[in-house]
A and B are shown apart, each in its own frame.
Chain A
C-alpha cells in the first residue's frame, strides 16, 4: 500500500521569504502525485498535480513542485510567500483499487506566515 510522509508538522516563514514543503511517498510504480491546500475552516483545493512528463510542475497561486524519482519526493515550493498562503498543505498519492482511484494523504504541514 502507498504511504505519504510530510515530515514537517508546522513551518513558520516571513512574508516574502521562499518556501519549501517536503513530501516523500512510497509507491512501486510511477506515482500520481498531488498537493492540496486547506484554508482555515474550508475544504481542500487542488494546488497542482504530477502525472507524467516534465518533473517540474506549475500550479495555482505561484506554487510549483518537483518530482524526484530517485528520492521518492515531491516537494512544494514558492519563491516568495504571501500572508494569504497561511494554511494547511497536504501531499497525496493516487492508488487504483480496481473499482476506483483513491488518494492517500500525508498528515499535513501547517504554514504560518509572519509579517
Chain B
C-alpha cells in the first residue's frame, strides 16, 4: 500500500515564526502536492512538484514556499507564519505512469497536520 506520512499531526506556532511541514511518500511517486483545508472551502492547492527540484504554484501560493531535494520528500515552508495560516495541511502524492488511462490523477493522502498560529 502507498503510504504518505506527515511529520506532525498537530503543531502550534507563534506569529512570525518560520514553520516547516514535512511529507514523505514511499511509493516512488513523481508528483507531490500540498493543500490547505478550511471549513466551507474544501481543499485548495498551495504548491505541487512533478520532479526533484521542480515545483509549480497552485491556487494559493502566497505566503508559502516548498522544497523537494529528494524524490520521496516534499516540504512546505511558511517563511513568517501568520494567524490566517491556521489550517489543516494535507500532503498527497501521485504517479506519472500512464499505463492505466487516467490513473495518474489518483492521489494518495497523508493524515494531515493541523497547524495553529497564535
* A binding-site residues for B, Cβ under 8 Å: 9, 32, 34, 36, 41-46, 49, 51-52, 90, 94, 97, 99-103, 105-108
Contacts and interface: CB of A to CB of B under 8 A. Distances in A.
Interface stretch (B11-19, B60-68, B73-81, B107-115): B107-115
A42 B42 CA distance: 14
Contacts, number: 67
Nearest to B6: A43
A44 B90 contact: yes
Interface string B36-54: 0000111101001010001
A96 to B, nearest CB: 8
Contact of A101 (B41, B42, B104, B110): B104
Interface of B: 4, 30-31, 33, 40-43, 45, 48, 50, 54, 56, 58, 90, 92, 94, 96, 100-112
B110 A52 contact: no
A99 B45 CA distance: 15
Of listed B41, B54, B58, B109, residue having the most chain A CB within 10 A: B109
B21 to A, nearest CB: 14
B105 A43 contact: no
A42 B109 CA distance: 9
